[in-house]
Structure 1
Amino acid sequence: MSAARIRRAAGRTAAVAARSIGIFVPVFLVATFVTFALRSLSGLSPAQVQLGESATPESIARIEHEWGLDRPFLTQYGDWFGKVLAGDLGTSWYNGADISRLLAEGAVISLSVAGLALLIGVVLGFGFGTLAALRRTTWIDRTITGVMTFISVMPSFVVGIVLVAVFAVSLGWLPSAGYVPAERGTGLWLAHIILPAIALSFDTVSDVARQLRAGLVAAASENYVTGAVVRGLSPRRIFFRHILRNGIGPAVTVLGLKFPNLLGGAVVTESIFGMPGFGQFAASSAQRGDVPAVQGVLVVSIVLVVVFNVLVNIILTRVTPASARGV
């Protein structure tokens, strides 16, 4: 690749990244403002969390003053948002622990499971989608489409329970619950996250496969493919150079939509598999009324979703000609 082409590709990538960030920055600002407003909307107080039913008006006022909750709302928001930008998500009402540290510990577990689920979804989804498109209208296509439709309606918690019953209880091949850090051994770490990752991946596999099949079938019927056949190009080159590049867009786009679902699904999946991850931390914090912890969970979720969607947009620009032209 020539230096000029490299510069043009880098320029397009930078432009897409800047455009995506320009869109997501106001979304982040609005989302963080709404997130911070949770405390006022919830009516909860750190005194209620710490003292329970023994909280008196005097003790509530004293503790809220210690937390700075008696100041004007916008002043509180400005201080909180400034700390968020510096990576400080505050302290827990429940035990006074640093929320950033607690979230980092849980996020490692959840992102391990969600990342493996995403990998499974990409590999199997692209494999099944491509095979169905190449064998369209045959029994292979109909079988894959039927199976993908079936697994798309299976809730992750049902899949998780079945996987535990079969592979952990009946066969004893994998652990049924818990989490082991990768530092203690990659094999042991993978053994603990593979079942929850599979349970989370079903919806991603089905949607990616169906979107990819539809995109490839549509691209294969375009005039430029007919022209490539007339020019005598090999089927392999036609597929990878013309059909795949122009038909992969919907499948890549759906990945950006599935990532928030993977994070949300972690709440149920981590409960089934007994994993102290991001989802479990969010659920327990909400049950305790620990508003700063819930706010921290939402902020981290927003950042992860924004970053992932920016990456998806950049990938779309690199692999699909239409996206590169801004179509």
Structure 2
Amino acid sequence: MSRPLQLLPSLRRLLATVARSVGIFVPVFLVATFVTFALRSLSGLSPARLQLGEQATPEAIAAVEGQWGLDRPFLTQYAAWLGGVLRGDLGTSWVNGTDVATLIRLGLGVSLSVAALALVIGVVGGVALGTAAGLRPTSRVDRAVTALTTVLSVLPGFVVGIILVAVLAVGLGLFPSAGYAPLTSGVWPWLAHITLPALALSLDVVADVARQLRTGLVTAYRENYVTGAVVRGLGPRRILTRHVLRNATGPLLAVLGLKFPSLVGAAVVTEWIFGLQGFGRFANDSAQAGDVPAVQGVLVVSIVLVVSFNLVVNVLLGRVTPAAARGV
């Protein structure tokens, strides 16, 4: 059989996985955006209150809300807003009149840089620890890894961040203590500014990845196909790389599907410690200011990030684990 014909089943499985994910994404996106847009009506907030103060007259409030199009029927407003979202227009900030998409893009670049490096550190460290523990269950190595991951999982990121700043930035002067340098300024300045916050955020990822991989390896080694591989004379290294790891990484990938979006948006305190104007800090500032269009934009981008990253994870699961490829 020719190679193109051999690739057809894999391509069909890939397309089926993408189609299932998109089929889930569309209704979830519509429901989530509807609820997101309803925030203004539910909150009772108004741009007139922010611009004119609490003592504004009803006539002045009506005039400002008319300028923002808030006097139209709710569904008409939602349809116009959703159309803008689909075109990449997330509206205008009530606080400073700036395009929300521009503000989010500035903060998202910072947070994506930190989150990506934190994920890389977490995966590399977690895979190393999880493999060491999973290959020697109930041994001293396993117990040591279990104790270490327990400690890492309960350490607050802001505490780790403060320690890293005090020791590596202030004490040893190895890294900048605060601020951000874009990638356009050079790879080293960019890495130097994101390494400490990424380390602070990566510890929980290390712990989760190590625990999931350790459990997956122990479970996989108990399966009948491993016994069959041993009977056929396959070596331990080949059994691990060709059979065990493929089935043990399923739960690990599922965890990573949830971790990356949370790293992008949930690092408010860490961003404060390292002086980063990131996505999480922008979301927090917008919520405190009552800037509804900015909060709505943040939620929309968060939804897209979660669904997109989970789509990537589902595709990887379909390629790596046999059960996922069959849609199990």
Secondary structure of the structure 2 residue equivalent to 1:206: helix
Identify the range of structure 1 (210-219 vs 21-30) with the bigger mean alpha-carbon deviation: 21-30
Alignment partner, residue 183 of structure 1: 184
TM-score w.r.t. the length of structure 1 is: 0.97
Superposition deviation, residue 80 in structure 1? 0.2
Counterpart in the other structure of 1:32? 33
Answering whether residue 175 of structure 2 is matched by residue 148 of structure 1, we say no
Q: Give the conservation status (yes or no) of the 8 Å contact 1:263–1:279.
A: yes
For residue 76 of structure 1, report the CA deviation from its aligned partner: 0.4
Corresponding residue of 2:115 = 114
Q: Contact 2:111–2:265 at 8 Å: present in 1 too? A: no
State the one-letter code of the partner of 2:242: R
SS at match of 2:89: coil
Does structure 2 retain, via aligned residues, the 8 Å contact 1:285–1:294? yes
* 1:173 paired residue number: 174
Which residue does the alignment assign to 1:251? 252
Letter in 2 for 1:189: W
Residue pair 2:29, 2:303 contacting (<8 A) in 1 also = yes
Matched AA of 1:49 = L
Which string of whole-angstrom CA distances, capped at 9 and with x for unpartnered residues, describes residues 289-322 of structure 1? Answer: 1100110011001101100001000000001111
Q: What is the alpha-carbon distance in structure 2 between the residues aligned to residue 57 and residue 284 of structure 1?
A: 28
Per the TM alignment, residue 93 of structure 1 is displaced from its structure 2 partner at its CA by: 0.6
What's 1:303 paired with?
A: 304
> For 1:2-46, what per-residue CA distance to the aligned partner results, in whole angstroms no more than 9, with x for missing partners?
222211111111100110111122111111111101101111110
Q: What CA deviation, in whole Å up to 9, does each residue of 1:135-186 have, x standing for no partner?
A: 2222111111110011111111111111111111211111111101111111
The two structures, once aligned, show a CA RMSD in angstroms of: 1.2
Structure 2 contact 268–281 (Cα < 8 Å) conserved: yes
SS of equivalent to 1:53: coil
Q: Deviations over 1:86-115 (max 9, x none)?
A: 100011111111111111111100100111
Superposition map of 1:84-99 within 5 A: 84-99=85-100
CA distance in 2, matches of 1:179, 1:257: 26
Which residues of structure 2 form unaligned runs of 5+?
A: none
* Paired residues of 2:265 and 2:302 also in contact (CA < 8 A): no
| Post-superposition offset of 1:54 | 4.5
Offset from partner CA, 1:198-232 (integer Å, 9 cap, x none): 11111111011100110011001111100100110
- Count of matched residue positions in the alignment of Structure 1 and Structure 2: 327
How far apart, CA to CA, are the structure 1 residues paired with 2:221 and 2:296?
Answer: 47
Structure 1 counterpart of 2:295: 294
Which residues of 2 match residues 1-327 of structure 1 at below 5 A?
2-327=3-328
SS at match of 2:94: coil
CA distance in 2, matches of 1:23, 1:278: 26
Residue type matched to 1:137 in 2? T
Moved over 6 A (4+): none
The question of whether the paired residues in 2 share the 8 Å contact of 1:156 and 1:265 is answered with no
Q: Secondary structure at the match of 1:248?
A: helix
TM-aligned CA deviation for residue 278 of structure 1: 0.7
The gaps in structure 1 that reach 5 residues or longer are none
CA contact (8 A) 1:167 1:174 kept: yes
Cα distance in structure 2, aligned partners of 1:40 and 1:89: 17
Contact 1:200 1:265 in 2 (8 A): no
State the alpha-carbon separation in 1 of the partners of residues 177 and 46 from structure 2.
38
- For residues 252 and 99 of structure 2, what CA distance do their matches in structure 1 show? 39
Matched to 2:88, the amino acid is: G
Q: Percent same amino acid at aligned positions? A: 67
